[in-house]
Amino acid sequence: MEFRSASHLVGKTVSEKRSMIENDLPAGRFSVACIGPAGENLVRFANVMFQDRAAGRGGAGAVLGAKNMLGIAVSGSKRVDEADSPQLKEVLRNAFQTIKNDPVSIGFKENGTIGDIPSSNDGGDWPTKNWQSNSWGKGAVLFDRYNEHNFIKPYGCYRGCTISCGRKVHVGEGPFKTPEHGGAEYESISCFTAFVLNEDMDAAVHSTYLCNEFGIDTISTASAIAFAIESAENGILPEQLEGGLHLRWGEAASLPVLVKMIARREGVGDLLADGVRQAAKQIGHGAEAFAIHVKGLEGPAHDPRSGKALAISYGTGNRGMCHIHPVEAMAWDSGKMTWGLTDYGLTDPDTVDRWAEEGKGKEVKLLQDGLSLPDILGTCKFFMYAGITIDHWAAMLSALTGIDFDGKRLLEISERVYNLQRLFNLREGLSKADDMVPQRVCSQPAFGKYQNSPECAIHDYQKMLREYYIARGWDPETGIPTKDTLRRLGIS
């Protein structure tokens, strides 16, 4: 291992840094992770980029920036020793066949994650206008526009991927002309369209490309922009911060400008670069109502008013309001997915009303434990959407390590991890108050398909939260893990 000066990389975009780092290295296969200008400027939601893929949420880019580390390059050649190579090959062969034949896998390859936009819009799972609604009515039109003008081809984010949900996209001409790159993910595009009422798909694709180039999380960036627009609309954003920009809903031209301002901490971008929670504190005058976050992490493009299990998963997520770490819980009660967890006690979603609240807290505990496993194992979570279960993981681990794993043991490992994360947060000063979700997220939509559907609003979040605490073995009043629970999990 060696450290090298990165002074010549300062201020360069992600693609420029990656190219320069690769040119500095001896010939061979190197993987490069690097931050962009946003990380250097300590934007709280700066990310770490791996070519076109991002370690997007949580601000890891700012951590590297604070340490003056601009990039890491790794090359390896040694093989991993396998305890039972023939058995592992057989398990993997069966797993690949399962994925290949699964309709979800086929859909991911054909349409990518962005293909969920029309159905999310229709099902009330598409946060719109900074969460004022859960649908917009424009999902199918925008998706068709993307397919016609922006989509180039699918690709896998690593060699040998059996799903290949990635999209190569571009903007061929016009003011938002953008080179071919890996992008147009569901979250990124949803946030740069529905969140801000932008109907220009070219502007959305270009803005998400800039986020990658500047090393900044797409979800938090678009959330911050939506927050700024609503603050300006209500006359509480200081005029000097607007800097002549048109902070209005649907103003496509301002989006890429704001991305750059946030990454560079210029003007209003400096305010937004610390996230919506901190920005709302600085602005005051009721701005907190427009700051959609949990534990400081801005909300993504899935809405618990489509399936209420998601509300508890958002609130109790150890890193905040995240859809994928640990679980898109509305995919259970609304999308009717099980991930193979019915064998371990999960209620059959076909027997569950998506807008019911009773029992959701209890179910989320198991959903979180099951869907945290890909994070623990270091593998893609989408495999569990495409037919892979914890029994597959257990078989793979057993053949790889020679240690006997089964699904029950893996669930206990995941539960232990979740409790350790909870203890970390408690040590750092978080409490039950940080498990609350924003009032707007619980409220009846102000417009759209579900504006006359009071049943989609969340009526007793506290009851669901208490139910969740009990299922976790935490104190039902404080959310602190009990001594019995820690003892059972082997946590001292």
The model's pLDDT over 258-278, given as tens digits with 9 standing for 90+, comes to 999 999 999 999 999 999 999
Q: Which domain holds residue 36?
A: 7-74
Secondary structure element (H or E) that encloses residue 171, with its range: strand 166-171
Report the CATH number at residue 121: 1.10.569.10
Same structural domain for residues 380 and 308? yes
Task: Work out whether the CA dihedral 480, 486, 489, 491 comes out positive or negative.
Answer: positive
Task: Sort 34 into a burial class: Cβ within 10 Å, 0-12 / 13-18 / 19+.
Answer: buried
Q: For residues 426 and 116, is the Cβ–Cβ distance under 8 A?
A: no
Domain boundary among 268, 297, 326: 297
Residue 206, C-beta contacts closer than 8 angstroms, at least 6 positions apart: 171, 176, 177, 178, 255, 256
Q: Residue 350 domain-assigned? A: yes
Query: Rounded CA gap, 322 and 325, in Å?
Result: 6
pLDDT digits (tens, 9 = 90+) for 361-414: 999 999 999 999 999 999 999 999 999 999 999 999 999 999 999 999 999 999
Same structural domain for residues 460 and 405? yes
Query: Rounded CA gap, 253 and 259, in Å?
Result: 11
Predicted pLDDT of residue 40: 98
Q: Residue 55 domain-assigned? A: yes
Q: For residues 479 and 469, is the Cβ–Cβ distance under 8 A?
A: yes
The CA–CA distances, whole Å, from 412 to 69, 204, 394, 404, 489 equal 36, 41, 12, 14, 7
Secondary structure element (H or E) that encloses residue 322, with its range: none
pLDDT digits (tens, 9 = 90+) for 406-421: 999 999 999 999 999 9
- CA torsion 238-244-245-248 (nearest 10°) is 70
Residue 103, C-beta contacts closer than 8 angstroms, at least 6 positions apart: none
Q: What is the b/e burial string over 41-68, where b = at least 16 CB atoms within 10 angstroms of the residue's CB?
A: bbbbbbbbbbbbbbebbbbbbbebbeee
Amino acid at 309: A
Same structural domain for residues 259 and 360? no
pLDDT band at residue 240 using 50, 70 and 90 as cut-offs: confident
Same structural domain for residues 39 and 13? yes
Same structural domain for residues 152 and 223? yes
pLDDT digits (tens, 9 = 90+) for 427-479: 999 999 999 999 999 999 999 999 999 999 999 999 999 999 999 999 999 99
Same structural domain for residues 165 and 58? no
pLDDT digits (tens, 9 = 90+) for 195-235: 999 999 999 999 999 999 999 999 999 999 999 999 999 99
Query: Rounded CA gap, 435 and 438, in Å?
Result: 10
Kindly report the number of other CB atoms within 10 A of residue 255's CB atom: 23
**β-pair partners for 169:** 151, 181
Amino acid at 432: K
Predicted pLDDT of residue 160: 85
Encoded tokens for 366? 């198991």
pTM of the model: 0.97
Query: Rounded CA gap, 468 and 422, in Å?
Result: 14
Domain boundary among 273, 297, 321: 297
Q: Which residue has the tokens 């102000």?
A: 446
Query: Rounded CA gap, 260 and 215, in Å?
Result: 10
Predicted pLDDT of residue 199: 98
pLDDT digits (tens, 9 = 90+) for 422-440: 999 999 999 999 999 999 9
Report the CATH number at residue 400: 1.10.599.10
Check whether 157 has a pLDDT greater than 90: no
Of the candidates 232, 146, 153, 157, the residue with the CA atom closest to the CA atom of residue 188: 146
pLDDT digits (tens, 9 = 90+) for 28-67: 789 999 999 999 999 999 999 998 899 999 999 999 999 9
Task: Sort 220 into a burial class: Cβ within 10 Å, 0-12 / 13-18 / 19+.
Answer: buried
Same structural domain for residues 52 and 124? no
**β-pair partners for 53:** 50
The CA–CA distances, whole Å, from 272 to 44, 55, 185, 247 equal 9, 20, 23, 13
Cis peptide upstream of residue 326 (ω within 30 degrees of 0): yes
What phi, psi does 2 have (nearest 5°)? -145, 155
* Mean pLDDT of the residues in the chain: 96
Q: For residues 328 and 322, is the Cβ–Cβ distance under 8 A?
A: no
Encoded tokens for 2? 């060696």
Of the candidates 185, 130, 123, the residue with the CA atom closest to the CA atom of residue 157: 185
> What is the rounded average pLDDT of the residues 307-311?
98
DSSP state of 300: -
pLDDT digits (tens, 9 = 90+) for 112-135: 999 999 999 999 999 999 999 999
Q: For residues 287 and 232, is the Cβ–Cβ distance under 8 A?
A: no
Q: Which residue has the tokens 């420029």?
A: 16
Same structural domain for residues 248 and 209? yes
Same structural domain for residues 274 and 314? no
Same structural domain for residues 269 and 197? yes
Q: How many domains does the chain have?
A: 3
Same structural domain for residues 370 and 399? yes
Same structural domain for residues 173 and 288? yes
pLDDT band at residue 88 using 50, 70 and 90 as cut-offs: very high
Encoded tokens for 373? 């496993």
pLDDT band at residue 158 using 50, 70 and 90 as cut-offs: confident
Query: Rounded CA gap, 230 and 289, in Å?
Result: 10
